[in-house]
Amino acid sequence: MTELIFDWKHVAFAAQRAFTETYGFNGSQGLTHLEGVLIHPAGRTAKTLLVFMHPASTLQLLPLPQAMARQGYHVLCAGSRYQRNDTSLIMENVVLDMGAWIRAARQDWGYDRVVLCGWSGGGSLAMLYQAQAERPTITETPAGDPVAMEGLIPADAVLNLAAHASRAGLLQDWLDPSLRDELNPDDRDPALDLYAPDSATGAGSFPPARLAAYRAAQAARMERITGRVLDRLDTLRRRGGAEVEQVFVTHRTMADPRFLDPTIDPNGRRPGWTYLGHPETVNSGPVGLGRISTLRSWLSQWSPAHSRANSLVTARDVSVPFLAIECGADDAVPQPHTAAIFAAAASTDKTFQLVPGANHYFVNQPAELAQASGMVSDWLAARNFG
């Protein structure tokens, strides 16, 4: 087996923060510190760097980055300033973090070309970054804080791998609409409770009319939360004091009927299961999407009406070669997302691929992993990315 080298990488730049938003040394000493891992085959040089980056996760333990390194590529698993904690995450800041990594790759490490590999939630980040690098338009966050996108270095290609269109859209589709009191997770409307004892779980349990009503209730809850966020930010600003941000909890965020009814956007996923485990357990557990958030982060990361990280929009400004790979049994990303992103991409050189039977993380799936890494490698080789 190919010997892989794992090199720790560090990038730092001026913080330019109005207040401390990340804990410890990284958040309070005037610099933004980023950490990542460069994976490459022992003794092999390369002029192309594959960059895997997620807004809140680190990806060096995922199977695909290592599989690509075993194919002979240099792979950077880059962390944002918010890695492993998305409570205060601002997507616009993560774009700047990605820009710092790409600048280091080009100017300090000697790579001639960079390919963005957007895995899962990294897909909307990669598309937002490339769109702003090709045509910068953002001057402030959704909360109105200034941010500058000029000077981002465009990547030479973008990949979406098991990627959804937006964290905000995903959260809305997963919100539990039965919750009536945001401060009391046990106060629920039985008529909207996906996990009520008498709730049907078999195929066809959500006919179109019921599903439409359920989706409308989810959107209404999202609007209520976002409305309170906007009101609270406005209150803090009008006070004019030193209190400028607050944190809140969003209960019950894993109640998508797709996880129980396999006839909704069908693929090969296992009914009654998600990439995080049993959906009812996840719904009230500690690791749900958007569980703990600041006011500003909610607007930037979780509100569909405010977040800019929506690949169905940003893909229209991405002109470089684009590869989209759908996992055929994805138990996290809804089936329609990959094809919709692919259709929206402006690139004239774009390719769609499907890995039949693959789950979100290729868990216990060496054959599917090999197929996916082969697809990526062949696509890159055909465009002389080596």
- pLDDT of 2: 85
Question: Strand 74-78 relative to strand 292-294: parallel, antiparallel, unpaired?
Answer: unpaired
Nearest partner of 333 among 125, 194, 161, 87, judged by Cα: 161
Write the DSSP assignment of 219-280 as a string of letters.
HHHHHHHHHHHHHHHHHHHHHTSS----EEE-------GGGT-TTSS--SPPTT-BTTB-HH
The answer to whether 316 and 340 are in contact (CB under 8 A) is no
- pLDDT of 53: 98
pLDDT digits (tens, 9 = 90+) for 329-358: 999 999 999 999 999 999 999 999 999 999
pLDDT digits (tens, 9 = 90+) for 115-146: 999 999 999 999 999 999 999 999 999 999 99
**Domain-wise residue ranges, the chain:** 4-166+307-382, 170-301
Nearest partner of 160 among 366, 386, 350, judged by Cα: 350
The answer to whether 199 and 177 are in contact (CB under 8 A) is no
Radius of gyration (C-alpha) of the chain in whole angstroms: 21
The matching CATH number, chosen from 3.50.50.60, 3.40.630.10, 3.30.9.10, 3.40.50.1820, for 4-166+307-382 is 3.40.50.1820
- pLDDT of 204: 54
Residue 386 has pLDDT above 50, yes or no: yes
pTM given for the model: 0.96
